[in-house]
Amino acid sequence: MPRSLEPKNRMKYVHFQALGCPPPVRYEYSKTGNWEEYSVKYKEHMERKLNVLDEIMTFFGESTVALMCFEADPLKCHRLFLAQKINERHGIMFENLYPLNDYQGLINFA
């Protein structure tokens, strides 16, 4: 567990590797930069992993949940699709913590 997320900070880190972007899709995107193609392929992957996506629901209600990724741009990250799908399936609202006003209203589900 990363040091900043140790129990003394009352945070728990849970990695759902199955919901990450599959390496072949990530590799292709790094070469082509084609966001539309990446989006389609990731969403297809996510649809095959709905049981794992639903596992995340066990954490709602007992703690605050944050979707994390290394991608800096929230509009070009698989977190956006995960948040949308959780919202669609379970009515859970997400708030993006990205500080730039450029994204206001684009990904705030609250």
What is the SS3 assignment for the chain? CCHHHCHHHCCCCCCCHHHCCCHHHHHHHHHHCCHHHHHHHHHHHHHCCHHHHHHHHHHECCECCCCCCCCCCHHHCHHHHHHHHHHHHHCCCCCCCCCCHHHCCCCCCC
**Which residues contact residue 103 at a Cβ distance below 8 angstroms, ignoring those fewer than 6 apart?**
74, 75, 96
For position 11, what pLDDT does the model report?
67
CB-based contact 100:106 (threshold 8 Å): no
The alpha carbon dihedral of 66, 109, 105, 82 has a sign of: positive
Is the pLDDT score of 108 beyond 50?
no
Which pTM was predicted? 0.75
pLDDT digits (tens, 9 = 90+) for 9-18: 666 778 889 9
CA atoms within 13 A on the CB side of 7: 0
**For the segment 34-93, what is each residue's pLDDT rounded down to a tens digit?**
999 999 999 999 999 999 988 888 887 777 777 877 777 777 888 889 888 988 988 888
